[in-house]
Amino acid sequence: MSQPFALERQLGLSAARRACALTSSVFNKLVKNETLTKGDKSPVTVGDYAAQALISSMLKNAFPADPIVGEEDAADLRAEEGKVLRDRIVELANEALVAPLVEGDKPEWGIGPGQAKSAAELLDAIDRGNYDGGRTGRMWTIDPIDGTKGFLRGEQYAVCIALLVDAQVQLGIIGCPNLPVDPAQPDGERGCLFVAVLGQGCHQIPLSGTSSTPLHMPTPAPSDLTTLESVEAAHSSHSTTDTISSILGITRPPIRMDSQAKYGCLARGEGGIYLRMPTGVGYREKIWDHAPGSLLVSEAGGRVTDSRGTELDFGLGRTLGENFGVVAAGREVHGRVLAAVQEATAQAKAKV
Ligand SMILES: Nc1ncnc2c1ncn2[C@@H]1O[C@H](COP(=O)(O)O)[C@@H](OP(=O)(O)O)[C@H]1O
Ligand SMILES: [Mg+2]
Ligand SMILES: [Mg+2]
Ligand SMILES: [Mg+2]
């Protein structure tokens, strides 16, 4: 008998591989007018839209009844002014859909030669990500390009896919086209997939092949600890991380990296602590920014909570509700980190 969620894992990996190829090729050809600014002032590119259209189309073919919570929606593309962008997105999504099948791909997922879709079908595929989320049933959450700012800088970004059942993450997949396969060789081969299934562990697979390496978070010596945090100070308070690091006696500078690549790196033993400290504006974290990453870390032997030590709740809709920030670390380190976070918060309050 096959393992639970074997087909979902296979499809998710295929979709992530295709989306990684799509986004890498977009980066090399991206022109200035292919990026929009969304209502919340954040950027979105033709790559984000085309990758969501691709992943959502494949999910629909394989699991037609499953709803999707996706970051992007097609409203801006349906408007007359969106025509140039729309045509480009259709071209990109179709290039990815008709790419030849590789081992593990199934033609019934709507991929392979001759599988191109119309503009209307692809816009509908993007909008299938409009599901509100919730506590019960199966649902997917996708972030077609997580770390769009990193993507635009040519730095780290991630294609992120997760399956939730009754608000529990069962499957998490992250594709990181720009991430070195071997952290010890930062100038070596780039392009990694991370995959975790609840109870089945966490694995890394190179984008160039199919060999799967199990990941286990090591117990780092205190002197080896480094924090991982966002590049963007608006997403995570860098000064709070500095205070927490000094309380913990960490002297190394933080590793700043965009996207859920941070969770993948943590799972394979880099840094030891991922801190996402709220900036005080009441921002609500999105489920697609944490669902796959949190499973990678917990399956590799780590623990993930919000900045106050509360478990992440994926059952509240599209956001994580009252979960603010993230603290992720090895199980034996996490408690110490949380205590330092609380001390840093108390210090900040005393200063006001
Ligand atoms: N004020 C804020 N605080 C925390 N996260 C924010 C934020 N504004 C945007 N984000 C989220 O931060 C994500 C990137 O995470 P990171 O900073 O770790 O690279 C963005 O994902 P997208 O790039 O997919 O939009 C976005 O959802
Ligand atoms: Mg975004
Ligand atoms: Mg994101
Ligand atoms: Mg995104």
pLDDT (tens digit per residue) in 306-317: 999 999 999 999
For a mutational test of ligand 1's pocket, the pick from 146, 263, 290, i.e. the residue with the most ligand atoms closer than 8 A to its C-beta, is 146
Q: What is the average per-residue pLDDT within 253-270?
A: 98
- pLDDT of 267 > 80? The answer is yes
Q: What is the average per-residue pLDDT within 273-301?
A: 97
Alpha-carbon gap, residue 32 to 42, rounded angstroms: 15
Q: What is the average per-residue pLDDT within 277-293?
A: 96
pLDDT > 70 fraction of the chain, expressed in percent and rounded:
100
147 CB within 6 A, ligand 1: yes
**CATH 1.10.760.10 given to domain 222-351:** no
CA 158 to centroid of ligand 4, rounded, Å: 8
Q: Provide the pLDDT for residue 30.
A: 78
pLDDT > 90 fraction of the chain, expressed in percent and rounded:
91
Fold equal for 6-215 and 222-351: no
Determine whether the annotation assigns residue 105 to a binding site: no
Which pairing describes strands 302-305 and 272-276: parallel, antiparallel, or unpaired?
Answer: unpaired
CA 148 to centroid of ligand 2, rounded, Å: 6
Q: Provide the pLDDT for residue 1.
A: 64
The residues assigned a catalytic role are 48, 148
For residue 20, give the H/E element and its range: helix 6-29
Condensed to tens digits (0 to 9), the pLDDT of residues 89-99 reads: 999 999 999 99
Categorize the per-residue pLDDT at 49 as very low, low, confident or very high, splitting at 50, 70 and 90: very high
Alpha-carbon gap, residue 151 to 34, rounded angstroms: 13
Q: What is the average per-residue pLDDT within 3-10?
A: 98
Distances in whole angstroms, Cα of residue 107 to Cα of each of 62, 114, 125, 128: 10, 10, 18, 21
So where are the chain's domains? Answer: 6-215, 222-351
Q: Provide the pLDDT for residue 221.
A: 86
- pLDDT of 31 > 80? The answer is no
Answer for the pair 179, 261: CB distance below 8 angstroms, yes or no: yes
- pLDDT of 342 > 70? The answer is yes
User: pTM for this structure?
Assistant: 0.98
Q: Which CATH architecture has domain 6-215?
A: 2-Layer Sandwich (3.30)
Alpha-carbon gap, residue 197 to 55, rounded angstroms: 19
Q: What is the ipTM of this complex?
A: 0.99
Condensed to tens digits (0 to 9), the pLDDT of residues 115-171 reads: 999 999 999 999 999 999 999 999 999 999 999 999 999 999 999 999 999 999 999
